[in-house]
Amino acid sequence: MAVDRKLLEILCCPVTHAELEPAASSLLHMINLKIEQGGVTTRGGEVPEAPWEAALVTRDGRLAYPVRDSVPILLENEALTLGQLDANG
């Protein structure tokens, strides 16, 4: 499910204030594989319980936020630090 384009133009990362863009399907696939394996934690220290239907990522590629029912969840505790994807193999 896509985030409305006009909404995307005004949103930014609540942590870094960087612009956000939809995650590529390959990145979303990698995130969901790591979630399935229990190989990532959110910035709040939780292991996500379900795969993400979509994600928004900062343009610098540092953070990703889940999108649920076409609504971006822009809470710091819900974000993933994308460096975990490489660090965990």
In-domain check, residue 7: no
Domain span including residue 53: 12-67
Q: Confirm whether 63 is domain-assigned.
A: yes
Determine the average pLDDT of the residues in 31-58: 96
pLDDT at 2 over 90: no
Q: Under 8 Å CB-to-CB from 53, ≥6 apart: which residues?
A: 1, 66, 67, 68, 69
Question: Is residue 26, in this structure, part of any structural domain at all?
Answer: yes
> Would you say 26 and 88 are in contact if contact means Cβ atoms under 8 Å apart?
no
Q: 42 lies in a domain?
A: yes
For the whole model, what pTM was predicted?
0.91
Please indicate, yes or no, if residue 83 is contained in any of the structural domains: no
On the question of pLDDT at 12 being above 80, the answer is yes
**84 within some domain:** no
Q: Is there a contact between 52 and 35 (Cβ–Cβ < 8 Å)? A: yes
Q: Classify residue 6: in a domain, yes or no.
A: no
Asked if the model's pLDDT at residue 88 lies above 90, the reply is no
User: What's the whole-number mean pLDDT along residues 37-63?
Assistant: 96
Does some domain include residue 43? yes
Q: How many domains does the chain have?
A: 1
